[in-house]
Structure 1
Amino acid sequence: MVIEKWKECGIATKYPTYRNSKLITVQSWLLGKQKDDEAEGLWRIYDSIYDFTDFIDKHPGGSFWLKETKGTDITEAFEAHHISAVPTKMIEKYKVRDAAKPRIYTLTLHEDGFYKTLKRRVRDTIKTMDYTPKRTTNYMHFGLLVATFIFIIASAKAGNIIFTGLASLSLCWLVISAHNYFHRRDNWRMYTFNLSMMNFTAWRVSHALSHHIYPNSFYDLELSMFEPFLCWIPNPYIKNLAMRYVSWVTEPIVYLVAFPIQMITRIVYSIKNTNIMHWHDLLCLSIPISIYVTNDLSLLFCVRQWILITLLSSFVFCIIGLNAAHHDPRIHHEGDANREDRDWGLFQVDTIIDRGDLKRSQFLVLTHFGDHILHHLFPTLDHGLLPQLYPILYKTLDEFKAELRECNHLEHIIGQHQQLLRIKTNPKPPGFGK
C-alpha cells in the first residue's frame, strides 16, 4: 500500500528493487536497476536497445561507464554526459532492436522540452566560451593537493591542533574539488578523491549515476544510504518518530564516520561477496606514510593522526555536502506533487536550491558544491565554466515558467534539519501558480 501510494508521485513506475536489500550498496543499486530497467541485459536509451560490448574499450570517457551500466536504462545519463550531438548519431550502429517494454521512468526529454532546448543553447555557447577559468580550476585543485600534505606533515611535526584543523579542511576541500573531475573522462585528478578513504569508482555510481540523475527520489542512493540514521523523504510510513528526532542526535556521528564507513563497507562486501577493491584504495595510506617518513614518530602515532584528520575532514565534508542544495521543505522530494511538465531538466531544478552566497568566488564554488543546478544539468563541464551559462539558463527558465532559487548556507542548514522532521508531502507541484 505504501509503495503503491508513493508510486503515483514517483519518477518511476516500479519501486526500486535495491531498496529491499538488507545492505544498500552501490552493487545492490546496480543489480536492482538491472532487474527493474527493462534493458534486456544490454544498454537501453529511450525505447531502443543497444549493444556497446565492442565499444567499451573505445569509449572516450573510459571503459568504466559502459562496464558498470550494462543491463540498465542510461537515457538520462547519456543525455547529461554528452552535450555534443555527435554521440546520438554515432550510437545508431550499435542498436540491435526496439525495446520490448516501455521505460519505467516517467521523466521526459522531449526535443522541444526544457532540457533539450537548454542543451542546444549550451552547445552553441561553448563554441565561443572563455576556457581560462578551467585552467584556474586546475591550479586550485593542485594547490589544494600540495597544501593538504604540507598541513598534514606540519600537524604531526608541530603537534598543533590548528595545523590539524587546516589539514582536515584542506583535505575536505581537495576531495570536493576532485569531484569536479570524476564526472568526466578518466584523468589523474579524480584519484585524489581517494585520499579521503572513499573511492571515485563507487561515487561515479552513487553520485554521478544515481544522485545526479534521480535526485531526492527512491532511486537516489545518497538518500537511501543514510537511512535510517538520516531520512529526508517525507513519508510517515518510512520515517517514524524516532527517525525524525533522533536523527538530530545521530547526525554529527554520521558526519564524523562517513569517510571510513565507506571504506569499511567496501572491505566487508569484498570479503563476503565479490572483490570490489582497487589498487587506488591504497592511496589514502599516503597520508600516514607521509607523516611517518617526514617525522621521527611512532607508526601508531602516525596512524592515529591520519584517522583524526580523516574524521574531522569527514565531518566538514558532510556539513558542506549535506547542506549544499537538496534538502529543505521547499525542495521537491519523493512523494511530493509533481509539476505537470515532467521534463528531466525541470525535475533537476525542482530538487535544488542553489547557494547564492558562493557565486562571487570560483574557489568557493569549486570547494562547496556551488553552481549546483548547472552542475547537475551539465556535469561534464568544469565548474569554472558554469557561470558563463547563467544568461541562457535564466532565459530558458523564464520560457518554461521555472525559477532558479537561492539561499545561503545557514538557511540550507536550517532547512535540512526541518526536512529531517517533515512527514507531510507538498500537495502543490513546483511552479504552482506561476
Structure 2
Amino acid sequence: MVIESWKQSGIATKFPSYRNSALVTAHSWQQGKRQDDEAEGLWRIYDGIYDFTEFIDKHPGGAFWIRETKGTDITEAFEAHHLSSAPEKMIGKYKVREAAKPRIYTLTLDEHGFYKTLKKRVQEKLKSTDKSPKRKSDFIHLALILATYLFGLLSAKYDSLLALVLGGVALCWTVIVSHNYFHRRDNWQMYAFNLGMMNVCSWRISHAMSHHIYPNSYLDLELSMFEPLLCWVPNAHIKSQALRYISWITEPIAYAIAFFIQMGTRIYYSLRNTNVMYWHDLLPLSIPLVMYYGSAGTACWLLCLRQWLAMTSIASFAFCVIGLNAAHHDPEIYHEGDANREDRDWGLFQVDTIIDRGDLKWSQFLVLTHFGDHVLHHLFPTLDHGLLPSLYPVLYETLDEFKCQLRECNHIEHIIGQHKQLLRIEPNPRPPGAA
C-alpha cells in the first residue's frame, strides 16, 4: 500500500518497496527487502558484505535461513539468533568487502547498549539454568498433536459438536506451540504448524525474519498482511473514519477465515508468480484422512470434510483471538509513526513494541499456548519457552540499568487495547521512556 505522506520512520530510511505490491506475501516482502537493503546481492551484517554461498548447506540451523536471506541485511537477525560468540568469529572468512552504502536501518546494536549487555548476561545465566523444562514443552506439544487427531476423529465418528470444538482448540494450540520450534534449527516439531493450513517456511519469513525483527513498523509483514480489514498503524491516510469502525465488524470474519486466506494466497501466488508451495503443505489433509479411516467407514467423506473445515475455522478464530491480542497492539505500544525513543537500541525497541501477558506467567502450558513471555521470546527467539522464566532476574536488572520498564496486562485488557488501536489515527508524540 503506497503511503504518499510517508516520512522517514525511526526504523528505516526507505519506505519498504513490498508495501507497493499488489499482493503482499512473504515472497513479495523478500523481494522488496532485497531491493531496499543495500546488501549488494549477498548477505550484509553491519557494514560488511559476506558471501555465504558455500556455507548454505553447512549451516547448523539449516540451509533455509541462509538461502532465504540472500540479498538482504541480516544484522539484527544474526545477533538475535546466535547466543554464542562462535558464529561472530566464524563469519570473518566469508567477508568479501565493506558495504558501499550505509545501512538503511536506524536501530543500533552497540557493544555496551541494552541488547548486547543483556545478551552477555543471558549467556552467563544459561550456563547454570535447568534445561528440563524443554522436555515438558516437547511433551505438551506432542500431547496437543495427538489431541487434535483424537478429537477430530471423534467429531466425525459421532458427529459430535463438543468433540469438534475441542478439536478446533487443540489444533489452535498445536499451531501456537509449534511456533516455539520454528525459530531454531530444522526439527520435526515445526511441521505441526502446517496442520492449520499455514506453512512453516512462509511463517519463518513473515514471523521470524519480518515481525520479530521489525515489530509494529512498516517492515512488519504481520502488520501489513491484515490490511485493509485490520489496520493498526495510526495513520489517517490509510485508515478512514469508516474503515476504523468497520474493522470491528469484519474482525470476527477475518479471524474465522485467516487460515484459509493464508493457504489461498499462497496457492494463488504460486500459480501466478513463483511457486512457494512445499510437500508439507499436504499435512493438513492428514486430519480428514484420520477422521475417515479412523472411523472405520461410519463417517462419509462429506462429513469428514465438513468437520475438518469447521475445526480449522474454529482453530483460526481462536488463533487470532489469542495471537492478535497477545502483546503488540495497544495505544500505549509503539507503532509506525509514533515518536521514537532517544536510545535507538534494537532491544529497547522490542520492549517498546510489547506489553506482556502478566496473567500467564505461572503456567508453562499457558505460556506455550498463548504466546506468553513475549518480550523475552522476541529478544531470544531460539530459546525454548520453558527456559525463559529463569531469565527474568537478569532482564529486570538490565531494564533498570537502562531506565526501561517491562509492561504487563491481562488478556481482556489486551483485547480492549487492540480495539482502541484499530481506531487510533493520531501518532503518539510522547516517546517511550519519556519522563
Please report the TM-score for the alignment, with normalisation by the length of structure 1: 0.98
SS at match of 1:235: coil
2:12 and 2:240 map into 1 onto residues whose CA distance is 24
Q: Which letter does structure 1 place at the counterpart of 2:323?
A: G
2:402 is matched with 400
The CA deviation string for residues 371-413 of structure 1, in whole angstroms up to 9 with x for no partner, is 0000000000000000000000000000000000000000000
Q: 1:10: how far off? A: 3.0
Alignment of 1:238-387 (within 5 A): 238-295=238-295, 296-387=298-389
1:414 is matched with 416
Answer yes or no: is the 8 Å Cα contact 1:17–1:32 preserved in 2.
yes
The CA deviation string for residues 9-43 of structure 1, in whole angstroms up to 9 with x for no partner, is 33000000000001000111000000000000000
1:416 and 1:319 map into 2 onto residues whose CA distance is 11
1:348 and 1:340 map into 2 onto residues whose CA distance is 14
State which drifts further: 184-193 or 144-153.
144-153
Structure 1: which 5+ runs fail to align?
none
SS at match of 1:96: strand
Answer yes or no: is the 8 Å Cα contact 1:6–1:334 preserved in 2.
no
Say yes or no: does 1:94 pair with 2:112.
no
State which drifts further: 7-16 or 398-407.
7-16
1:25 and 1:298 map into 2 onto residues whose CA distance is 36
Q: Which letter does structure 1 place at the counterpart of 2:358?
A: G
2:157 and 2:172 map into 1 onto residues whose CA distance is 21
1:156 and 1:422 map into 2 onto residues whose CA distance is 44
The CA deviation string for residues 55-77 of structure 1, in whole angstroms up to 9 with x for no partner, is 00000000000111000000000
State which drifts further: 297-306 or 199-208.
297-306
* RMSD, matched Cα: 0.9
Answer yes or no: is the 8 Å Cα contact 1:338–1:429 preserved in 2.
yes
Answer yes or no: is the 8 Å Cα contact 2:3–2:237 preserved in 1.
no
Answer yes or no: is the 8 Å Cα contact 1:175–1:193 preserved in 2.
yes
2:128 is matched with 128
SS at match of 2:127: helix
Q: Which letter does structure 2 place at the counterpart of 1:294?
A: G
1:75 is matched with 75
The CA deviation string for residues 320-341 of structure 1, in whole angstroms up to 9 with x for no partner, is 0000000000000000000100
SS at match of 1:332: coil
2:7 and 2:351 map into 1 onto residues whose CA distance is 21
The CA deviation string for residues 229-268 of structure 1, in whole angstroms up to 9 with x for no partner, is 0000001111111221100011001000000111111111
Q: 1:127: how far off? A: 1.0
1:144 is matched with 144
State which drifts further: 43-52 or 152-161.
152-161
Alignment of 1:2-13 (within 5 A): 6-13=6-13
Answer yes or no: is the 8 Å Cα contact 1:29–1:221 preserved in 2.
yes
The CA deviation string for residues 124-179 of structure 1, in whole angstroms up to 9 with x for no partner, is 11111100101110011011111111111111112121111100000000100000
Q: Which letter does structure 2 place at the counterpart of 1:83?
A: L
After superposing on structure 2, the runs of 4+ consecutive aligned residues of structure 1 that deviate more than 2 Å are 2-10
1:147 and 1:262 map into 2 onto residues whose CA distance is 24
State which drifts further: 292-301 or 333-342.
292-301
Answer yes or no: is the 8 Å Cα contact 2:234–2:425 preserved in 1.
yes
1:425 is matched with 427
Answer yes or no: is the 8 Å Cα contact 1:9–1:337 preserved in 2.
no
Q: 1:5: how far off? A: 5.8
1:96 and 1:126 map into 2 onto residues whose CA distance is 34
Q: 1:297: how far off? A: 1.8
2:294 and 2:265 map into 1 onto residues whose CA distance is 31
State which drifts further: 415-424 or 297-306.
297-306
Q: 1:7: how far off? A: 3.1
Answer yes or no: is the 8 Å Cα contact 2:8–2:14 preserved in 1.
no
Answer yes or no: is the 8 Å Cα contact 2:43–2:70 preserved in 1.
yes
Q: May I ask how many residue pairs the two structures share in their alignment?
A: 432
1:395 and 1:85 map into 2 onto residues whose CA distance is 22
Q: Which letter does structure 1 place at the counterpart of 2:433?
A: G
Q: 1:298: how far off? A: 1.6
Q: 1:4: how far off? A: 7.9
1:61 and 1:155 map into 2 onto residues whose CA distance is 39
2:191 is matched with 191
State which drifts further: 350-359 or 271-280.
271-280
Q: Which letter does structure 2 place at the counterpart of 1:73?
A: D
Q: Which letter does structure 2 place at the counterpart of 1:110?
A: D
